[in-house]
Amino acid sequence: MNEVLNCPPCFEDLNRGAECGNSRAGIKAIMFGLKSDVKTFPSKKPAETRTKLEDHVITTAGNLEMKPGKRMYKFESKRATAELKYTLEGESGGRSLKASLAAYYNQFGGNIHGFISTIKNKELVLLVKVGNNDWHLLGDEDEGVEIETFEAGTGKQTTDPIGADFLLSISGLEGATIYKGETEQLLEEDSNTGG
């Protein structure tokens, strides 16, 4: 039986990155919003047109648009306290990727507890700016990002950190999705007032 490939494989050299310059580890920026508040998701490049390795990192065309009166929000975290990871999941022949965003919020107040109470049973959409300035889009029209773990504490000693660690994740991804659209207008509530 011949296997039907809906995404043709391709290969090219994987050269080493530059050995000079600053570390690009960590996260530069995080934006979040409810998946139900998204009006339009950007389109993805069709699988049959992917002819280079970089094409398999799904690059979107167009902008993410929020519904009228809705917007995305910033999550501020120190660069060294947030991390985006992609891991393989599933069995051979049916593998996919899981994206996980671990972050730390350095306050133990009503805002972080309110945030968790609001999202604990909801799906989110995230835009995560990584060290090379790419924005990774997590979530689409089919599935959103969900909270996986959350732990907040006051600490016992005066030297202990006070704040919240949490992990957001989404499974079943074909690959990483790089968002090429506008970002700043997503933070403006009235950016899309048309019907």
CB-facing half-sphere around the CA of 177: CA atoms within 13 A: 26
Mapped onto helix, strand or coil, the DSSP state of residue 33 is strand
Q: Do 52 and 10 meet the contact criterion of CB atoms below 8 Å apart?
A: yes
Instruction: Name the residue among 138, 111, 106 with its Cα closest to residue 38.
Output: 138
Q: pTM of this prediction? A: 0.82
**Closest listed residue to residue 72, CA positions, set 195, 193, 185:** 185
The one-digit pLDDT tens for each residue of the chain (195 residues) are 444 445 555 555 555 455 555 555 678 999 999 999 999 999 877 777 777 777 777 778 789 999 999 999 998 876 678 899 999 999 988 899 999 999 988 888 778 888 888 899 999 999 999 988 999 999 999 999 999 999 988 889 888 888 889 899 999 998 889 999 999 999 987 544 444
